[in-house]
Amino acid sequence: MHRRTALSVSAALLVAAPLLSACSGETRPGTAAVVGGDRITTSALQAQVNDVRDAQNRSGQGAQLIQATAGLERLKLNKMIQSAVLERAAKDAGLSVSTKEIEDVRKAQLKTAGDEKTLVAAALQEAQLAPDQIAADARFKLLRDKVFAHFGSQDKALVGLGEAAKALHIEVNPRFGRWDSQQLLLGDQETPWITQRTQPEQAAPAGA
């Protein structure tokens, strides 16, 4: 199975561009959000969504899974923005994740799931992750846990994440909702670095 690495996926999400809005004041075409002066393009966002939809359509529960994930576009954009915030907070704290650490998570997930097919199915159903998105999600969680450990408490970690988000000057195309600088999320999406952070890893990564 072809897999993009977590690093290549992260690099593909952001395209250099200074502004969300064009000179006319209207939203710049093709822009879902601007994070740290870099543009998350609507095409990059749609690619994330399409990967999940394709995987859902290949499953035996395609119609049910698609119906249950009507808000997938916003959910994916939320995760893309939060990933950028987490990467910035980790960089500021001098934290990183190695390829071996990601591979070790994959091995542990496979051991829990029993086989690749079960792991992929669980990731899709429970976390809205296409097969090529599982490694990036593992990187997200590894960084998240290191950031929380670095700050020593959830409250302090959230302050650090808030400072990282502020430094990135996040702007979101109104089509996709509004970035909440207090909750560090897009609209009513969940925030993966709080939800079930301390629970054991399951076959499918938590968060989307």
208 found inside a domain = no
Whole-prediction pTM value? 0.80
Q: Quote the pLDDT of residue 197.
A: 44
| Dist. CA 191–CA 103, nearest whole Å | 24
128 found inside a domain = yes
Higher pLDDT, 131 or 15: 131
Look at residue 22 and tell me whether its pLDDT is greater than 80: no
| Dist. CA 35–CA 30, nearest whole Å | 14
Higher pLDDT, 124 or 191: 124
pLDDT digit string, tens, across residues 42-70: 999 999 999 999 999 999 888 999 999 98
| Dist. CA 121–CA 68, nearest whole Å | 15
Q: Quote the pLDDT of residue 31.
A: 95
Q: How many domains does the chain have?
A: 1
What is the average pLDDT score of the chain?
A: 83
207 found inside a domain = no
pLDDT digit string, tens, across residues 154-166: 889 999 999 999 9
Q: What is the CATH number of the domain that holds 133?
A: 1.10.4030
129 found inside a domain = yes
Q: What angle do CA 206, 70, 26 make, to 5 degrees?
A: 105
76 found inside a domain = yes
Look at residue 195 and tell me whether its pLDDT is greater than 70: no
124 found inside a domain = yes
